[in-house]
Structure 1
Amino acid sequence: MKIGVFSTKPYDREYFEKYENTHHYSVTYFETALNSHTAGLTVGFDVVCVFVNDSVGKDTIEQLSKNGIKLIALRCAGYNNVDLKSAKKHNIKVVRVPAYSPEAVAEHTVALILTLNRKTHKAYNRVREGNFSLKNLIGFNLSGKTVGVIGTGQIGIAFCRIIKGFGCNIVAFDITKSEELVKLGVQYLPLNEVLQRSDILSLHCPLNPKTKHLVNEESIALMKDGVMVINTSRGALINTVDVIQGLSDKKIGYLGIDVYEQEENLFFEDLSESIIQDDQILRLNSFPNVLITSHQAYFTKEAMEQITTTTLNNIEAFDKGLELKNEVT
């Protein structure tokens, strides 16, 4: 079984090399992303392993099929970048890592909230420059605030457990209620009520046609003045243009994002010596109340181990003709 791993970074290779010998597969690493222009690299492979910003659309899948690819192994939970209908048409199976250390993403979400609120990133830079002033560093108590959670899967549940410890009131929206969260005291409400009542709004839902641009001009209008919006899920849950307007109008008081609508052209790369052509990310960076991290919420040792082992186990199950427990259909 020959595996081509795309969008490989040094840390990906480190963890794959740590575990690949136990599976005895031939693994080739490509730094480039997989898309219709690079699909030619898959000749001679049985499996392609891809990440969040690989583009596995119809044209790419047609080329993968011609090249004999039998399995697309996502080393992530989301699969919105894969054309599942085309994969099924060409009899290519798709597997994913449905959960990997939900606590990692949940904890990073809380880190964004605390940093935006208490401005520790600004205080750090000030003190290093000998500036010990507290001017403009004032924050607010999390205790007693209402936190709205959209999406209460494993990450949403982990986030609710943590934020509950701060003494927050939690309201949530999801098509399925978590009994664990109900017992924790989380109140499930219609989406509009969650938007209206939240001091802090945290997104933890998948990206699909129903959730795309969930945060938009209309939904922002329902929110409290000065609301804090946090997104560690998928970039396109937020309409960036509308959020920029919300920040300009001071309707949105804080924005923390670990994902971005056009991140495939930016994230995971060192562009410090480049002229960034994305005007929207530049505009977001110009706001003093915006904090952006580069899709690192998942990035812990524990999560990397789970991602790697689950991915390799998915491939092994396919190779041996076993049930694909993590198949995306």
Structure 2
Amino acid sequence: MEILAFGVQSDEKPLIEKAFDKAFAGQHEVRCLDVFLTADTAPIAAGHEIISTSVNADLGSRVLQTLAAGGTQLIAQRSTGFNNIDLDVAERLALRVARVSHYSPYSVAEFAWTLAMAVNRRVVRAAGRTRDFDFRLDGLLGRDMHGRTAGVIGTGRIGEAFTRIAHGFGMRLLGWDVTENPACTALGMEYVDKDRLLAESDLISLHVPLLPATHHLIGARALARMKDDAILVNSSRGGLVDTDALVAELRAGRFLGVGLDVYEAEAGLFFVDKSLEGIDDDTLARLVTFPNVVVTSHQAYYTRDAVSQIIDTTVRNIADHLAGRRSENVLVPALPAG
């Protein structure tokens, strides 16, 4: 059987091929495509029982109907988030959907800190200057993180890893989540309401999933609560932040820095080379012009360790499907109540 993998990066391809060879010993083969799954590319999957997709795949109603009509039975998504999938439609069409429930939390947590320090110490601007042999320090003044307050919104596996690094910096720790993480509490984290966290934190990092309840969690009201010289980092999902409201605050001269690895309208932009044609997204185009903003293209997870774990779990999800097994990674069909 040939399994079709959409949206495969060049770094990922040898890792995916090696994992499939090891797991299936030539019985099942994988064909890696660099194109992403969209309404236009979905017909390519015709005749393939199993496909694998990337985080920015379009798995809305139209695409799912095309996949089901073409004979697809399993969608193995190579990510933890599934806000891009219409699960109700998938279940109605009898499509099985599986995800990667977890992978290295350190990859994302460490990158969130990379963004935080990059904007704090003006690393991108400094590197650009030195390439032009401009060695002045004007405009590069940062500040110590030691003794300042880190606000962690979402204290699961990734939030905990971020908190441990903040603790290593010697920061005061505030947390907000639906449930408290004892490991974070042991590090000295105080759980507070969201408004207090926003008002008191010098650094705010987002580590919650994108759900209807968390869409635009950081909107105009939340941004207004933050300190004028705060740092905001989002390495989770772009829809957590109201980007238009953020741009308005940045235009008003607020915030020491903003580090974004995700963007709410990133589908069709991120993971693609737009350098020659440009983009027609005015909000993103304006966002990247601010000197105190660093935007990267959804790469926080992109370490050899994390990607290898994602691929291994995806292969297991496929093997489970072929063997008629299910695991905690299966989103559709849903587990029966009780």
TM-score range, shorter chain: over 0.9
Tell me the residue number matched to 2:258.
255
The residue matched to 1:23 in structure 2 has which SS?
A: helix
Please state if 1:132 is matched with 2:135.
Answer: yes
Residue pair 1:216, 1:242 contacting (<8 A) in 2 also: yes
Residue 268 (structure 2) aligns with: 265
1:208 match: secondary structure: coil
Asked whether 1:23 is paired with 2:23, we answer yes
TM-score by length of structure 2 reads 0.94
Encode CA deviations 1:76-111: one digit per residue, 9 max, x unaligned: 010000001111111211111121211011001111
* RMSD over equivalenced CA pairs, Å: 1.2
Question: What is the SS of the residue equivalent to 1:72?
Answer: strand
Q: CA deviation at 1:243?
A: 0.1
Aligned-partner Cα distance in 1 for 2:278–2:319: 43
Distance 2:255 2:145 in 1: 17
Matched AA of 1:69: T
Deviates more, 1:280-289 or 1:27-36: 27-36
**CA deviations over 1:201-244 (Å, ceiling 9, x no partner):** 10010001011111111111111122111000001111110000
**Counterpart for residue 44 of structure 2:** 41
The residue that corresponds to 1:74 in the other structure is: 77
User: Are residue 297 (structure 1) and residue 300 (structure 2) matched?
Assistant: yes
1:216 alignment partner in structure 2: 219
1:322 offset after TM fit, Å? 1.8
- Tell me the alpha carbon deviations over residues 286-328 of structure 1, each in whole angstroms, 9 at most, x when there is no partner: 1110001111111111111101111001110111112323112
Identify the match of residue 327 of structure 1 among 297, 314, 330: 330
> 1:8-61 CA distances to partner (integer Å, 9 max, x unpaired)?
221221211121112222212222221222221111111111111111011111
Distance 1:53 1:40 in 2: 17
Q: Which residue of 2 aligns with 1:228?
A: 231
d(CA) in 1 for partners of 2:126, 2:224: 32
Counterpart of 2:204, as a letter, is L
| Contact 1:247/1:253, CA 8 A, preserved across alignment | no
Q: Secondary structure at the match of 2:209?
A: coil
Deviations 1:155-191 (CA, angstroms, capped at 9, x unpaired): 1111111111001111111111111111111111111
Identical columns (%) = 38
The TM-score normalised by the length of structure 1 is: 0.97
Runs of 4+ in 1 over 4 A off after TM superposition: none
Cross-structure match for 2:208: 205
Residue aligned with 1:252, SS: coil
How many correspondences in the alignment? Answer: 329
Residue 286 of structure 1 corresponds to 289
- 2:7 aligns to what SS in structure 1? coil
Distance, in Å, in 1 between the alignment partners of 2:305 and 2:294 is 25
Distance in 2 between the 1:39 and 1:62 partners?
9
Give the alignment of 1:29-108 within 5 angstroms. Answer: 29-108=32-111
Q: In structure 2, how many angstroms separate the alpha carbons of the residues matched to 1:7 and 1:120?
A: 31
CA contact (8 A) 1:2 1:44 kept: no
